[in-house]
Chains A and B, each alone.
Chain A
Amino acid sequence: MAKKALKTPDNNNGIQRSTRVKYLIQRLTYDGFVAHHYAYMVRVIQEVEPTCFEQVVKNPKWDNAMDEEMVALDANATWELVALPKDKKAIGCKWVYKVKHNANGSMSRYKTRLVAKGYAQTYGIDYEETYSPVAKMTIVRVIITMAATKGWSLRQMDVKNVFLHGDLREEVYMEQPPGYVDETRPNLVCS
């Protein structure tokens, strides 16, 4: 069975197959799973994640999660509402919804994140440099070796909402987030 799974399908009888990426996982069945794995998968599949704001209107569990994210954004003073200057364009934004699970398959929480549609940004206008260094795995290994040989303590930390901490140098205008448009000033944009 395993051997079959890695094989990419042959062109049978001259039938034209689509050239789309075929995920090998499609060839798996649920039959081989033990009961608790099966139960976990059913759980994961049951809880469908919405893809846009329109699907979650008046759904209290997602509302709470979005409120939480808005509180974080407000606390961070991410933007203020201004009128859009004539020669500028505002980029859109959307909500992304994610159901988080515990290791045993139980639902842990509903998480939402507001993301800007960065693909609408133009180089030189609302963004310039984007390169950001990340640690190379070799460096990580060297650090771990140092900790081991010298007997130093080796610890880990994690930044919550990491991307919200950065200060923007460029002028970026964004539309108000869906569902959280200021009723008294609906025409303003986030700046």
Chain B
Amino acid sequence: MKKALYGLKQAPKACSDKIGQYLVTSGFQTSNADFSLYVQKTNHGIIVIVIYVDDLIIIGNNDANIFDLKKLLKQKFEMKDLGELRYFLGTEVIQLPKGIWLLQRQYALNKLFEYGMASCKPISIPLEQNVKLSADEGDLVEDTTMYKRIMGSLIYMTITRPYLNYAVGMVSQFMQTPRKPHLDVVRHIFRYIKHTLQCGIFYEAKSQL
């Protein structure tokens, strides 16, 4: 086989190498902080690219530069231009003149359905007061795989909900041996998520970094 094919073990590496090499030959530098981050600095401006398997985010201060780059990428890799960033890995991106909103509305809604919490009653606090969870009190949860799966979803939802970090951190300590009281707290968090479906992060335009 000359080229990678879906299913081959080395396929993801082969294609990310290829795209990376191409970007490096076109004057980009790989970031030391994250190998999927590519930066090009020229006299005309700066372009930054983030790659997530087949999704690319491009930012830059010179629209003409970006236009040229996109033309090259389209020829080389059959890329599709999706225009302004609107949706990335389950996160909705809403670009307004005032700033940028990040929301995980749809993701949260899907998860509520998936875990059978779609019709729960919303609640305005993420945790009861003074909750004490213990590792060895209460009945064991039978389906630990499901508990771990739920933890994964909750952790993912903290991307745009930093205020959930404490509550999620607390219940995720018990992934080894989840018990019924832990599940009760999880249910409580989901009720809070339902209450805060519309909430997200807002980055104000022209504020300080």
- What is A's interface to B at a CB cutoff of 8 Å? 1-3, 5-11, 17, 19, 21-25, 27-28, 32, 73, 76-80, 93, 113-118, 121, 127-137, 139-141, 143-170, 172-174, 190-191
Contacts and interface: CB of A to CB of B under 8 A. Distances in A.
Interface in B64-86: 66, 70, 73, 77-86
Contacts of B3: 76-79, 164-168
Interface in B1-16: 1-16
Contact of A154 (B18, B19, B57): B57
B166 interface: no
A159 B116 CA distance: 35
Nearest to A9: B142
B186 interface: yes
B32 interface: no
Given A21-B145, A118-B7, A149-B208, A155 B58 contact: yes
A2 B115 CA distance: 9
A169 B18 CA distance: 12
A149 B61 CA distance: 12
Contact of B9 (A127, A147, A152): A127
Contacts of B29: none
9 contacts: A93-B7, A121-B8, A144-B93, A149-B206, A149-B209, A157-B79, A158-B55, A164-B5, A166-B17
A155 B66 contact: yes
Nearest to A133: B35
B143 A8 contact: yes
Interface residues of B, number: 86
B36 A139 contact: yes
B119 A78 contact: no
Contact of B100 (A19, A144, A155): A144
A190 B186 contact: no
B141 interface: yes
Nearest to A150: B61
B116 A78 contact: no
Contacts of B175: none
Contacts of B61: 150, 152
A71 B111 CA distance: 38
B143 A6 contact: no
Contacts of B51: 134-135
Given A6-B187, A155-B66, A131 B59 contact: no
Contacts of B40: none
B181 interface: no
Contacts of A151: 205-206
Contacts of B48: 143, 146
Contact of A147 (B52, B59, B70): B59
B131 interface: no
B1 A79 contact: yes
Contacts of A121: 8-9
B6 A163 contact: yes
A5 to B, nearest CB: 3
B196 interface: no
Contacts of B80: 157-160
Contacts of B120: 2-3
Given A5-B115, A135-B37, A151-B206, A115 B2 contact: no
B120 to A, nearest CB: 4
B1 A78 contact: yes
Contact of A168 (B4, B116, B143, B159): B4
B99 interface: yes
Residue from B7, B33, B88, B118 having most chain A Cβ neighbours under 10 A: B7
Closest 9 interchain pairs by CB?
Answer: A166-B14, A5-B116, A166-B15, A166-B4, A115-B7, A148-B203, A162-B54, A133-B35, A116-B7
